Structure 1
């Protein structure tokens, strides 16, 4: 994903050694404690809390943020697990907490409601939230979880669209993952423009009235959408223009 990298993702922290090195460099010797108001903890105590949380977390790590008061920063708490904030899980909790795989007639498609379906196009996301309901397949393996990623392949794409075409009641498709922002615009082994191909095939399906590409991209790398040289943005605009002409809603 060269354009994601161009727009600051080259600074992502994805491994525990990277995180510990970063914390050592930016976290003060004493910081506010997350679990007790008006109390402080040392940098080493904080790092140990993070290490303990990572060992118990189902989601791997990807962050691009800075901290002055990390333990109480809402962005930090969205992505970094602290062992001190964790409680024992319910015995009924599982990684697929929404039971999406029970409603997957073909791999990569969730069909729970009669007129709507969710296309899990890619297992890659520009951010990895602690509360992700697809931690069974998104992100790298953790000490707790061996992931079952839903990979973007020609076979999966064909199976998904064959099923959608066979279900006349399906009118609405959400293309997600992961995140549609990470669908590569070009790939030699799938098509010249994967994003545009997905859009074109949805446009050409008579039963589909509307479709959306789900993304947090604007929150992660908003300037990517302003880059006229970015093939992802160009492909999305082309799909949008063709959908509008075909009377399809987004």
Structure 2
């Protein structure tokens, strides 16, 4: 199926001017495939996300990892998904590292091993609202990623088995935002679990027995789109913000015989990405 026209190149802000003056929001739409995201945007099925994206279209990028843990470790080190065109491409954030070819004058360079602690050192309050199991804090492995943050949240209602996971995550984010000192900058990270398997319950008429499909994956993205405006509004109520919305990896639904992720198929490595400013309201 043909996708939308290629997205216009994203303007790359000087992050040295953004950090300190804006709140920061990173939303990872866990497991979202680029082809599904692009098709829904072109068909007008994700109007709230499309209204924020430059040109109304996703940028096509390559994931830094093929599953949640690996990809988020890379992103928290400053390696966001890379444009799917020959580079090098300068990065928005980077740890100070001699010889880096993707660090430029308008890259925000932090002096710590990871972006989260780098932003904390710059005066940000760092908050994680987790989704998939790597954020559930129910054991050592599930505590690594949320452990980067000064404040982290996870409940079963945020996880992959909940049909209302994103609404519950937004409820928690709103409470966190309401309780913050308005004079302190915020870095909010939300790992959205709704796209991850199981997602059959997001498509009317689908059944547990029939399982997850590309169509139920698309229905999960429509569910997220219906509610994302509430999260963006809560953040913009604090003042100006800069938002990054992307997938950490895709997933296969029988493509060339493959199912799932943590594998080297194109649908796993190719992900949607966008970033945009939120004006204070």
The two structures have a TM-score, normalised by structure 2, of 0.28
Larger RCO (CA within 8 A; separation ≥ 6): 2
Structure showing greater Rg: 1
The two structures have a TM-score, normalised by structure 1, of 0.30
- Judging by fraction of residues, say which structure has more strand: 2
- Judging by fraction of residues, say which structure has more helix: 1
